[in-house]
């Protein structure tokens, strides 16, 4: 029940209440600020942050993925599709096993970044990283193919923070 409380003479003056309010705002004036100056500063993220995926290469630079499809099966959002292909003679430097993924696509608009693909992968090929999925204007740009997912030979993606001490990966 709403009770209508009549204000007494002091309260009707409003001045004590205004004074209280002024003290509160002055306290906030000297408080540390919560703003993060974004381009220069970024919000600190957890070492096991699940960001953009990467398809790793092995020590010799060959692709680890064998297109077994376990990640696609494990994916609860059904974001991963791939087409497998047999490795030809002479391609040993490119692909580690006899089978490889000809195309490997992740629909980033479906992906929920749960990390189950990473757990399902028997070949330690796919990992989530601390990189953040960039924003974009068109839907097509969120269909990440092998060109975007596969790590470059000369600039490997660091996943040590995420994998260190982990029981599962």
Partner 1 sequence: MASIGGLDLGFVLEKLLLVLAVFGFTLGVAMYATLAERKFAAFFQDRIGPDRAGPFGLFQPLADGLKFFFKEEFIPKQADRFLFILGPAIAMTAACMTTAVIPWGDQIQIADFDFSLLFAFGVVSIGVYGIMIGGWASNNKFSLLSTIRASSQMISYEIAMGLSLIALVLVTGSLNIKEIVMQQSQGWHILSQPLGFLIFLICSFAETNRVPFDLAECETELVGGYHTEYSSMKLGFYLFAEYINLFVASAMISSLYFGGFNLPFAHLFPHSLWIGIGVFVIKIFLVMFFFIWVRWTIPRFRYDQLMGLGWKILMPLSLLNLFGTAVVLLMKG
- Contacts with partner 1, residue ranges (CB under 8 A): 18, 21-22, 24-26, 28-29, 31, 33-35, 37
Closer residue to partner 1 (CB): 31 or 153: 31
Q: How far is the CB of 45 from partner 1 (least distance, A)?
A: 22
3-state class (DSSP) for residue 120: helix
Alpha-carbon torsion (49, 55, 58, 60), positive or negative: negative
Q: How far is the CB of 132 from partner 1 (least distance, A)?
A: 22
Two structure tokens written together for 29: 């004036």
Closer residue to partner 1 (CB): 41 or 160: 41
Closer residue to partner 1 (CB): 11 or 98: 11
* Separation CA 151–CA 47 (nearest Å): 20
Count CB-CB contacts under 10 A for residue 120: 17
Closer residue to partner 1 (CB): 9 or 168: 9
* Separation CA 77–CA 48 (nearest Å): 21
Q: How far is the CB of 136 from partner 1 (least distance, A)?
A: 24
């Amino acid at each position: 029940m709403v009770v209508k409380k009549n204000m007494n003479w002091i309260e009707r003056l409003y001045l004590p209440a205004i004074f209280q309010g002024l003290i509160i705002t002055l306290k906030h004036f000297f408080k540390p600020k919560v703003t993060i100056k974004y381009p220069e500063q970024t919000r600190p993220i957890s070492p096991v942050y699940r960001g953009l995926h990467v398809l790793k290469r092995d020590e010799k630079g060959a692709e680890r993925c064998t297109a077994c499809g376990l990640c696609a099966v494990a994916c609860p959002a059904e974001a991963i599709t791939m087409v497998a292909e047999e490795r030809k003679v002479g391609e040993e430097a490119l692909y580690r096993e006899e089978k490889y993924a000809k195309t490997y696509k992740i629909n980033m608009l479906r992906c929920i970044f749960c990390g189950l693909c990473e757990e399902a992968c028997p070949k330690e090929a796919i990992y989530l990283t601390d990189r953040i999925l960039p924003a974009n204007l068109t839907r097509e740009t969120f269909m990440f193919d092998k060109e975007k997912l596969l790590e470059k030979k000369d600039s490997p993606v660091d996943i040590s923070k995420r994998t260190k001490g982990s029981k599962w990966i």
